[in-house]
Amino acid sequence: MSVTATAIQITIDGRPVEVAAGSTILEACRSIGEDQPTLCYLENLTPVNVCRVCVVEVEGSRTLVPSCSRLVEDGMAVATDSVRVRHSRKMVLEFLASSTDLTTADPVVAEWMDHYEADPDRYGPAAPPSDDRDSRATGHHHVSDGLAAETVYQPAKIDNTLYMRDYSKCILCYKCVEACGADAQNTFAIAIAGRGFDARVSTEFDEPLTNSACVYCGNCIGVCPTGALMFRSEYELRRADLWHEEDQTVTTTICSYCGVGCNLELHVQDNRIVKVTSPLDHSVTDGHLCIKGRFGYEYVQELGDLATTPIDIVLAEARTK
């Protein structure tokens, strides 16, 4: 027996579109090749619709609606490029770029900023990093003179050899929390803590990961859109100005540890594995891996660990292999 989803008629920017009932507006847009910008949305996670960069205008709706999660309804008229939509997208991008370090974000973000003419500098010079973001009192804040634009800049957290967390780059998209939680790993080592501008991703009482429930699956890194969460190898290479994505090759293979059959994408630079990912659309992993698939590759190359061995020694060794 086959069940055919009811077809629904909507219009997107005046174009009639037919999609299956239960589709989101974003899916409808994508079905006609009109992709929308998204930051907190990912195919393998439950939409949280918090970044608001995907908002669209729906006729009859008082406010804009998030296209990533709003389901289509028959007769819906959607505008993806109206004045209101362009304004909100521009402002969301400005708000993020003026408060967060987006230097390692997906390059498409810079393209959107150009497209929507976002100008983050108009809020004033960026406020310097602070070291108290994990201990601010909820519901209180330091009253500023308004001359600098508040940021989330803070020291990076490096507490283990596998990955690091640089929350200066965190846009609070909730993806890592979802991947650590019920959407993938069910480990619940991290959650959103605090409130308002001081809301942040945290373990309980900001304990180091080594004291937390973290199992180092690295699925949080896999979903992070800004590079706030990063392999130690990538972080160390970037710090030494030796990260060259254009020179990297990506080789797909199957993890050799157990019989599940997870696809691995090995990112290789200078004959050395520097990062491991899995395709989002892989039927076995949905993009998620375990600690062995994600980090257990050293036996392939037997090089010094970037987190513990000076970088020139590691690279010299890699080149001679």
Partner 1 sequence: MEVPATASERDAVDGLLGPPESGWDGAQRTARDGRVSFGGFHMAAAQRDLLLPALHAVQSEVGWISRGALDYVCKRLGVPPAEAFGVASFYALLSTEERPPRVAHVCDDVCCRPHGATEIVAALEAAFGPAGTVVDGATWHPSPCLGQCDRAPAVFMQLAGEADAVLTRTNGEAVVAMLRGESVVVDGQPATVVGDLLLGRMGTIDPTSVESHVANKGYEALRRALEMGSAAVVAEVKASNIRGRGGAAFPAGIKWEAVANAPEETRYIICNADESEPGTFKDRVLMEGDPFLLIESMTIAGYAVGAQRGYLYIRGEYPAATALLQSAIEQARTGGYLGPDILGSGFDFDIEVRRGGGAYICGEETALMNSIEGLRGEPRNKPPFPTQHGLFGKPTVINNVETLMNVPTIVVEGGEAFARIGTERSAGTKLFCVSGAVATPGVYEVEMGTTLGELIDRAGGAVGDLQAILLGGAAGAFVGTDMLDLPLTFEDSSARDVSLGSGVVMLFNESADFPDLLRRVAAFFRDESCGQCVPCRVGTVRQEELLARHLTSGRPLDRALLGEIEEVMKDASICGLGHTAAIAIRSAIDIGLLETV
Task: Report the residue number, 128 or 259, with the smaller CB distance to partner 1.
Answer: 128
80-119 footprint of partner 1 as x/- string (CB under 8 A): ----x--xx--xx--xx-xx--------------------
CB-based contacts of 110-114 (< 8 A; 24+ apart in sequence) = 112/37, 112/53
In the complex, least distance from residue 139 CB atom to partner 1, rounded to whole angstroms: 3
Radius of gyration of the chain (CA): 22
Q: Are 289 and 219 in contact (CB under 8 A)?
A: yes
Whole-angstrom distance, CA of residue 200 vs CA of residue 203: 10
Query: Which of 55, 102, 221, 223 is close enough to bind partner 1 by CB under 8 A?
Result: 55
Q: How far is the CB of 138 from partner 1 (least distance, A)?
A: 5
Query: Is position 131 an interface residue for partner 1 (rule: CB under 8 A)?
Result: no
Does 128 interact with partner 1 (rule: CB under 8 A)?
no
CB of 77 to partner 1, least distance (A): 17
Q: How far is the CB of 291 from partner 1 (least distance, A)?
A: 18
Contacts with partner 1, 145-184, as mask; x by CB under 8 A: xxx-xx--------------------xx------------
Q: Rule CB under 8 A: choose which of 36, 38, 168, 203 binds partner 1.
A: 203
Burial class (CB in 10 A: 0-12, 13-18, 19+), 29: buried
Q: How far is the CB of 296 from partner 1 (least distance, A)?
A: 25
Q: How many CA atoms lie within 13 A of 15 on its CB side?
A: 13
11: exposed, middle or buried (Cβ count in 10 Å: 0-12, 13-18, 19+): middle
Taking every pair of Cα atoms in the chain, the longest distance, rounded to a whole number of angstroms, is 67
Which residue's CB is nearer to partner 1, number 23 or number 278? 23
Q: Which residues of 298-312 are buried (b: 16+ CB within 10 A; e: fewer)?
A: eeeeebbebbeeeee
Instruction: Please report where in the chains the tokens 């497209």 appear, as a residue.
Output: 115
Q: Based on CB atoms, which residue is closest to partner 1, 92 or 289? A: 92
State the minimum distance, in angstroms, from the CB of residue 69 to partner 1. 6
d(CA 263, CA 78): 38
> Does 3 engage in binding with partner 1 (CB under 8 A)?
no
309 lines the binding site for partner 1 (CB under 8 A)? no
Contacting residue, 32, 50, 266, 291, with partner 1 by CB under 8 A: 50
Residue 212 CA to residue 180 CA, distance in Å, equals: 12
User: Per CB under 8 A, does 139 bind partner 1?
Assistant: yes
Q: Transcribe 110-179 into DSSP letters.
A: HHHHHHTT--GGGG-SBPPP-S-TTSPPTT--PPP-SSSB-------B--SSSEEE-GGG----SHHHHH
Contact 272, 303 (CB under 8 A): yes
Q: How far is the CB of 58 from partner 1 (least distance, A)?
A: 12
Q: Which of residues 182-201 bind partner 1 (CB under 8 A)?
A: 188-199
Q: Which residues bind partner 1 (CB under 8 A)?
A: 49-53, 55, 63-64, 66, 69, 84, 87-88, 91-92, 95-96, 98-99, 122-124, 135, 137-141, 143-147, 149-150, 171-172, 188-199, 202-205, 207, 211-213
